[in-house]
Amino acid sequence: MMFKSDFQFKRCVDRYKGDFRTRKFTCSEHFLVMSFAQLTAGESLRDIENSLTAFSSKLYHSGLRPATAKPMLAGANEKCHWRIYGDYTQVLIKQARPLYVNDPNFRMDIDNIVPV
């Protein structure tokens, strides 16, 4: 989360009106939860909910709420436009590309994996 730019993410959310009529679970919180789920290899909403419950005392420091229920995640997955995260992925790729240009140990060619 070190490279997460709140300004750039907010621009992507505003472009597709992602937080329109959202009261409880914003796109930013959804991004943090889904990133956490990716890092903990959560395969289902139940896995994600159980992982968040297990780490509930430590989630405050990462900017997450302690209780994220399965129906709330399901609703956010349905409502949030996928292009928000697609556009933000392109922002992160532009930040990551210069970091690995001259690294001989990095054998993955980002241009061939992710379309620009």
Please compute the mean of the pLDDT values over residues 2-31 and round it to a whole number: 87
Residue 89 lies in a domain: yes
> What pLDDT, on a 0 to 100 scale, did the predictor assign at position 16?
92
CA angle 69, 10, 76 (to 5 degrees): 25
Residue 20 lies in a domain: no
Of 50, 15, 52, nearest to 30 (Cα)? 52
Residue 69 lies in a domain: yes
> What pLDDT, on a 0 to 100 scale, did the predictor assign at position 12?
93
Total domains in the fold of the chain: 1
Residue 21 lies in a domain: no
* pLDDT 10s digits, 79-89: 888 999 999 98
> What pLDDT, on a 0 to 100 scale, did the predictor assign at position 115?
53
- The range of the structural domain enclosing residue 83 comes to 6-15+26-108
Residue holding tokens 């993410």? 9
Q: Please state, in angstroms and rounded to a whole number, the distance separating the CA atoms of residues 55 and 53.
A: 5
Q: Please state, in angstroms and rounded to a whole number, the distance separating the CA atoms of residues 40 and 48.
A: 8
Crossing angle, helix 82-96 and helix 27-39, to 10 degrees? 60
Please compute the mean of the pLDDT values over residues 93-105 and round it to a whole number: 80
Residue 76 lies in a domain: yes
Question: Which has more pLDDT, 33 or 100?
Answer: 33
Residue 49 lies in a domain: yes
Residue 55 lies in a domain: yes
